[in-house]
Amino acid sequence: MSQVNVEKNTLRQPPAAKTEQSPYLLLFIILVLAAVATWIIPAGKFDHETRNGITFAIKGSLHEVARSGVYPGEIFMAIVQGVIKAAPIIFLILFTGGLLAVIESTGAIATALNSLSRSTKISDTRIIIIFGVIFAILGTTGVVQNSVVAFVPIGLLVARSLGLSPMIGMALVYLTCAAGFNVAVLGPATTGLTQHLAQLPLFSGMLLRGITCLLFVITVMTYLIISVKRARNNGEVRIEQTAQNDESLTITGRHKLILITCAATLIVFMIGTVQLHWATNEMSAMFIILSIMVGMMGRMSGSAIANTFLTGCSQLVKGGFIVGMAGAISVVLQQGNILDPIVGFLSDLLAPVHPAIAAVGMFISAALMHFGISSGSGESALLIPIFSPLGDNLGLTRQVTVQTVLLGEGIVNSISPTSGVLMAALATANISFSKWIKFVAPVVAIWFAICVVTLLIGVAINWGPF
């Protein structure tokens, strides 16, 4: 995910967040431990069958094979193999960063939000609903991810103009965006990646995922509306005149055209995925095309478009290559023939458990792991190779298995002290982590309940296509 710079006169830069532990270090430690495990755990393999082009392990077919321990030099070869194997997804992630950089360099998103924030004719409730819808869409499509930090000042400005606390301003942007991003109905770097690893059609299962996202967003909107009304009833509102009538932030017809084009392209791609079975390669190509179109509409030169696109790509190198790093762990486990025995052990352990309970357990496991691996794409690349066959053996559909990982990652994003994005946003709003946790706890608790219900429904209806 990327923090892409916006035009100098658009938004002030947030203060730097504290240095966080690199997820690469943790993944490398896990990689080394996986290699050591190939010399300890007895090797074994499942027999497999292919149905409709999808490979499934045959339950109960695990058998012992010759040990093939991974040597130290092969650990680094596994990293290379992991990156090569994940190349389509890595390039999709990089091209996402390139597109976002071009869009943001035109100032279309920032000016639209600034124009809205300066409006004095909209009620509290309407402001919350408008911001909620906008940022939920930006989050669930992956348009605004790490770069949400750059929009926090807009939320603070709106809150100040309404006489509300910075906490409301922070939540108005960050929490509404998280409501969309945490479910990621059309997020290429989250849902797209995870479904690709599980061999699912891109963005399949959209209906139930969309309903879950809607419930997440409604929860945040309702909570903010209640919080604002409570603040006004308690006399905590203090109007401050902080008008910033910067004409350079006025939205123009060109900005509107750019936003309409982006929305139209998103609709075209949704139709393509459903009707024409488009996947990651088509999405990457559309991102390139859209980058060129947006750049031309923004009156950027050819060189400026190319340079901005590449700058955006460079911002997502960390997030892209972490997929390959996590994939290296799967390569080592498979090369050492211990992935299947691990899955078999977990399957036997959970065999007496109802599939619905197993799904909830996998969801909680993914959530706990996300505190250590703050990268959603990295965690997906690590867990899906294990969770997919495990879910198959436990009677879960691949779609349910994917959702256990996605929701596990998402539920933690707004409360994890290891999240660089959250800590940077809190620093921007000058809010302590403890106060944020106290404020957001009711929302996260409701989200947790929604996640559990979603998974139970998914198990009950055999959420597919498979």
Q: What is the C-alpha separation between 294 and 310, in angstroms, rounded?
A: 15
Average pLDDT taken over every residue of the chain:
84
Q: What is the pLDDT of residue 32?
A: 94
Instruction: Specify the higher pLDDT residue, 363 or 59.
Output: 363
The per-residue pLDDT for 100 is: 81
Amino acid at 298: G
Q: Which helix (H) or strand (E) holds 97?
A: helix 87-105
The reported pLDDT for the residue numbered 120 is 55
What pLDDT score does 2 carry?
38
Burial class (CB in 10 A: 0-12, 13-18, 19+), 226: exposed
Q: Which whole number is the average pLDDT over 101-118?
A: 79
pLDDT of residue 249: 61
Quick check: 4 pLDDT over 70? no
117 or 214, which is more confident:
214
The yes-or-no verdict on residue 19 having pLDDT over 70 is: no
Write down the pLDDT at residue 15: 47
pLDDT reported for residue 219: 97
46: alpha, beta or left? (left if phi > 0; alpha if psi -120 to 50) = beta
The confidence score (pLDDT) of residue 203 equals 87
CA 355 – CA 176 distance, rounded (Å): 32
Per-residue pLDDT tens over the stretch 51-75: 766 677 777 788 888 888 999 999 9
With a pLDDT cut of 90, the percent of the chain lying above it is 36
Would you give the end-to-end CA distance of the chain in angstroms? 29
Answer yes or no: is pLDDT of 458 > 80.
yes
Around Cβ 84, how many Cβ atoms within 10 Å?
A: 12
pLDDT at position 118: 65
pLDDT at 239 over 60: no
Q: Which of 184-198, 375-389, 440-454 is predicted least confidently?
A: 375-389
Give 254's contacts (C-beta < 8 A, 6+ positions apart): 106, 108, 297, 298, 299
321 pLDDT tier (thresholds 50, 70, 90): confident
Predicted confidence at residue 242, as pLDDT, reads 42
121: pLDDT confidence band, cut at 50, 70 and 90? low
Report if pTM > 0.85.
no
Position 45 confidence tier, pLDDT thresholds 50, 70, 90: confident
* Cβ atoms within 10 Å of 131's Cβ, excluding its own: 26
* Whether pLDDT at 196 is above 90: no
What does the alpha-carbon distance between residue 309 and residue 302 come to, in Å, rounded to a whole number? 11
Q: Which two tokens stand for residue 350?
A: 């959970």
pLDDT tens for each residue of 261-318: 988 887 887 777 767 777 778 878 988 999 999 999 999 999 999 999 999 898 878 7
Higher pLDDT, 203 or 160: 203
Residue 44 φ/ψ, nearest 5 degrees: -165, 165
**What is the pLDDT at residue 445?**
97
Going by pLDDT thresholds of 50, 70 and 90, the confidence category of residue 168 is very high
Cα 426–chain centre separation: 19
pLDDT band with cut points at 50, 70 and 90 for residue 391: very high
Please classify residue 386 by burial: count the beta carbons closer than 10 Å to its beta carbon, then call 0-12 exposed, 13-18 middle and 19+ buried.
middle
Q: Which of 128, 121, 135, 129 is nearest to 169 (CA)?
A: 128
- Quickly list H helices, 19-67: 23-37
Return d(Cα 224, Cα 176) in angstroms, integer. 10
- pLDDT at residue 366 greater than cutoff 80: yes
pLDDT digits (tens, 9 = 90+) for 413-455: 899 887 778 887 888 888 988 899 999 999 999 999 999 999 9
